[in-house]
Chain A
Amino acid sequence: MSTVKLTVNGKAVSAEVEDRTLLVNLLRDHLNLTGTHVGCDTSQCGACVVHIDGRAVKSCTVLAGQASGSNVITIEGISKGDELHPMQAAFRDNHGLQCGYCTPGMIMSAIDIVNRYGGNLDEDTVRQELEGNICRCTGYHNIVKSVLDAAGRMNVAQAAE
């Protein structure tokens, strides 16, 4: 057992976990942040994507101990109070989700994509960049639309800041 200390969604947290505990299990089982999902056991599906120190990471590929000292943001931590993150709003407005299970990971990956590409996103790039996130419901059509829509909203928001 080890003590893991990190910042999750802006709050300092500490947990006593088995050494083999994955970050996703720390989030779900110890911190009750169940918005981050587990959809596979081979790090393929991307339902568990969170941000670690600003980068999108599959939280099933990281031991909780490896995340010690880092700054983790989950799907629960991206809206400002009642105000949705532009990516969340774009997924809702473009019907970018159906069952909702892949959605948190999809949104966290998508934010990272827009952060990296800024205004230089097109459909092909979005499709290639989403390769690590599997959705079984939407056929990706409206997810791609959502990401492109959000890219515009996020760039406008950034320009305003």
Chain B
Amino acid sequence: MGVEGIGASVVRKEDRRFITGKGRYVDDIKLQGMTHAQFVRSPHAHAKVKSIDSSAAMKMPGVVGVLTGKQIVDDKIGNLICGWAITSKDGTPMKMGAWPAMAPETVRFVGQAVAVVIAETKNQARDAADAVIVNYEELPAAADIRAAIKPGAPQLHPEAPGNVIYDWTLGDEAAVKDAFGKAANVVSLELTNNRLVPNAMEPRAAIAEYNEAEEHFTLYTTSQNPHVARLVLSAFYNIAQEHKLRVIAPDVGGGFGSKIYIYPEEMVALWASKKVRRPVKWTGDRTEAFLTDAHGRDHISKAEMAFDKDNKILALRVKTHANLGAYMSLFSSAVPTYLYATLLSGQYNIPAIFAEIITVYTNTAPVDAYRGAGRPEASYLLERLMETAARQLKVDPAELRRKNFITQFPHQTPVIFAYDVGDFGASLDAAMKAIDYAGFAARKAKAKSEGKLRGIGVSCYIEACGIAPSKAVGSLGAGVGLWESAEVRVNPVGTIEVLTGSHSHGQGHETTFAQLIAERLGVPISQVQIVHGDTDKVQFGMGTYGSRSLAVGGSAIVKAMEKVEAKAKKIASHLLEASEGDIVIENGEFKVTGTDKSIALPMVALAAYTAHNLPDGMEPGLKETAFYDPTNFTFPAGSYICELEVDSGTGKTSFVNFVAADDFGRLINPMIVEGQVHGGLAQGIGQALLEGAIYDSSGQLVTASFMDYTMPRADDLPSFKLSHTTTLCPGNPLGVKGCGEAGAIGASAAVINAITDAIGHNKLEMPATPDRVWHAIHG
């Protein structure tokens, strides 16, 4: 390891612009002649749009135009789609209802756009939007899962009778039934996985510019995957052909999944920019983010686990209803299926698993992947079930887990995945040691003597990341391949540009990816520029989600770098008059082994571009491209343990300690990895204690601001104690697994298990607010 290579906690290259106020986010960009868009949104959860009268708005100062849902449909702009096909157990395809970018006839959630006002200034657009008169005929709404599946419930889409999108199963139902028949003990649990709002701090925004002469669009947008946005806008939404559409995602202020999707606002901005022949900017406010960003989670589940007389797990049966909201967002169908049910084996050797997943439409915002996406729901369910089992079976929760750990790898679970490598006992040991698990009983007794309720909760998670082998996801219904691309350009003077299809919106790629170059080519990271987020610069890419940037995007960089090295060695051997096989690269020098002859990378690069003295037949230049398609998912795993106290008088919980022991494979920049874990833990703890999106029975979102939706703040959280255990991932050249989602996946069960331990019973749902905890204690 060099001082800047793999394993070095170097400070981030990108930080200087952010700490000096020189970041460049979408809303910071101004274009010549730019207009501003304000959407007219439905105040009703379910209604017919009878008429829209924009005559008064059109006369308001600065108004350039008012455009409606009918016009966007008339112009044949395509409906929004879900890109992952799921088939129900009866063999029928999922029931996708039509989702126009603005509603021409029917609105199905509060906040859905019906029209847009374009004006010279943002304030003028706002004023005029207030003057657009929309006549609605209200319809009854189904605002949650239970209301939507009741007989006689209001129907959202004619395509989906009973509001069911699909009823999908995974696993061997007969084997599970058989195992339950032989069980010595059965443990069951019903629980809710609360609905969350991602709330990246930068609200979504878009600027669209249409060049009439070139018939070309440019879109600046808050995206985690600009190439996917271009692909979908072009191939499905009929905005423009790919070569006539440039998508730029500049600095993006957090995503957590919510900026994967192509939203109606970007489509409307593009379409409107051609209509009004002016650039159109839309910047969402926080209320719009609450109402229209894709939400996360929202499951109701029943789970049962069968044990033999030695407390070994025999089988698991799960039935989950998942709320997908009013429309199917881009990857929504995959979240409760291939990102959830496939993880139900957890870290455990479970011979038989059967899961049934029923997804439903409701009159709420669309639900899609949010940090962890399906995996937090699986982990929460399984880890609450294991805790419940340990108490019912009267065994130590950590030891029940250890007894059932998978210890042999590779391990084929009964739910698709083949775990490649891991050491679950090692991470559990590390976490138990860090929190002094053995000493807990004494601490609990001491707390009790002081009138405090103290609890400890374990959570052992596993996730499938690095999404994914394209062939595998294709066979499971994905509409796209999930490889990544990279280009490594060595410039004539030896500086390097790396173009990547991954997108950084806080993850620190500009540093971590530069470290990969420093490690192999010995070039200081200050001499390396990471280029991302622009479809005109980067050839193609699938973007950043599913903790895939390093495992897939980083591997693509390694592959491209290997090609660069191979060519550079040929040039070096030619210049040094040595055999190619004798050339080694050390600290940026190409050396002839066993001699003192060497040539530095910049000289090799210069030779490649002057082309005065290259091997016969070699093309000039030194830049190479690679596409990397992984051979398997990666499987980060770890153990989290939370110790806390509950005040029985107020129901308030206070953290005593929170420890995390993760196995992410090789760490490139441990400082950045730990930062990712901290953030994930905060979101997992937020779900456990604070956060919950609540719709009332009429479909009004009553938690639509930071005044009403409790975001974790600094004084809600503890400092975390992190440690790492390591098994290298055999599936990629870096041995990495991904770290972006782990915290959010493992934390919530640890917290709830600790509270239920403290209060002495298991009837508690998230978020465990003081009110809920107090009632759980006092009945």
Residue of B nearest to A135 (CB): B201
A71 CB within 8 Å of chain B = no
Interface string of A27-60 (1 = CB under 8 A from B): 0100001111111111011010000000000000
Interface string of B10-21 (1 = CB under 8 A from A): 011011111111
Given A101-B253, A136-B679, do A128 and B201 touch, yes or no (CB 8 Å)? no
Residue of B nearest to A126 (CB): B714
B778 CB within 8 Å of chain A = no
User: Which of B87-95, B421-429, B715-723 forms part of the interface with chain A?
Assistant: B715-723
Structural contact, B714 and A91, CB atoms closer than 8 A: no
Structural contact, A139 and B678, CB atoms closer than 8 A: yes
- For residue A101, which residues in chain B have a CB less than 8 angstroms away from its CB? 23, 25, 200-202, 253-254
Structural contact, B706 and A103, CB atoms closer than 8 A: no
- For residue B251, which residues in chain A have a CB less than 8 angstroms away from its CB? 99-100
- Measured CB to CB, the closest approach of chain B to A139, in angstroms, equals 3
A127 CB within 8 Å of chain B = yes
In angstroms, Cα B253 to Cα A137, docked, is 9
Task: From B12, B15, B507, B717, give the contact of A139 (CB < 8 A).
Answer: B717
In angstroms, Cα B142 to Cα A87, docked, is 50
In angstroms, Cα B719 to Cα A8, docked, is 36
B27 CB within 8 Å of chain A = yes
- For residue A61, which residues in chain B have a CB less than 8 angstroms away from its CB? none
Which A107-161 residues sit within 8 Å CB-CB of chain B? Answer: 107, 123-124, 126-128, 130-131, 133-144
B260 CB within 8 Å of chain A = no
Instruction: Pick the most buried of B19, B21, B256, B507: most chain A CB atoms within 10 A of its CB.
Output: B19
Task: From A18, A41, A99, A131, give the contact of B713 (CB < 8 A).
Answer: A131
Residue of B nearest to A88 (CB): B19
A64 CB within 8 Å of chain B = no
In angstroms, Cα B393 to Cα A73, docked, is 62
- For residue B712, which residues in chain A have a CB less than 8 angstroms away from its CB? 139-140
B596 CB within 8 Å of chain A = no
B711 CB within 8 Å of chain A = yes
Task: Classify chain B's interface size.
Answer: 35 or more
B682 CB within 8 Å of chain A = yes
In angstroms, Cα B202 to Cα A136, docked, is 10
Task: From A84, A93, A98, give the contact of B675 (CB < 8 A).
Answer: A98
- Measured CB to CB, the closest approach of chain A to B36, in angstroms, equals 11
Structural contact, B123 and A18, CB atoms closer than 8 A: yes
Task: From A28, A37, A42, give the contact of B706 (CB < 8 A).
Answer: A42
Structural contact, B682 and A139, CB atoms closer than 8 A: yes
Residue of B nearest to A101 (CB): B253
Given A126-B714, A134-B706, do A97 and B682 touch, yes or no (CB 8 Å)? no
In angstroms, Cα B706 to Cα A126, docked, is 21
- Measured CB to CB, the closest approach of chain A to B710, in angstroms, equals 11
Structural contact, B715 and A131, CB atoms closer than 8 A: yes
Task: From A18, A33, A37, A141, give the contact of B720 (CB < 8 A).
Answer: A141
B162 CB within 8 Å of chain A = no
B474 CB within 8 Å of chain A = no
In angstroms, Cα B16 to Cα A28, docked, is 20
Instruction: Pick the most buried of B21, B286, B678: most chain A CB atoms within 10 A of its CB.
Output: B21
- For residue B27, which residues in chain A have a CB less than 8 angstroms away from its CB? 28, 34, 38
- For residue A76, which residues in chain B have a CB less than 8 angstroms away from its CB? 20-22
Interface string of B245-280 (1 = CB under 8 A from A): 000000111101000000000000000000000000
- For residue B674, which residues in chain A have a CB less than 8 angstroms away from its CB? 95
Structural contact, A35 and B22, CB atoms closer than 8 A: yes
In angstroms, Cα B19 to Cα A142, docked, is 14
Structural contact, A136 and B711, CB atoms closer than 8 A: yes
- For residue A134, which residues in chain B have a CB less than 8 angstroms away from its CB? 201, 706, 711, 713
* Complex A-B: 17 CB contacts under 8 Å: A34-B24, A39-B253, A40-B286, A44-B707, A75-B21, A84-B19, A97-B19, A99-B251, A99-B252, A100-B506, A101-B254, A135-B201, A136-B254, A138-B679, A139-B743, A140-B717, A141-B675
- Which 7 pairs between the two chains have the least Cβ-Cβ distance? A35-B21, A100-B18, A101-B253, A139-B682, A99-B506, A98-B506, A75-B21
Q: A95-B671, A99-B200 are known contacts; what are 10 more A-B pairs with Cβ within 8 Å? A: A28-B28, A36-B21, A41-B287, A93-B11, A95-B672, A100-B251, A128-B715, A136-B679, A139-B712, A139-B717
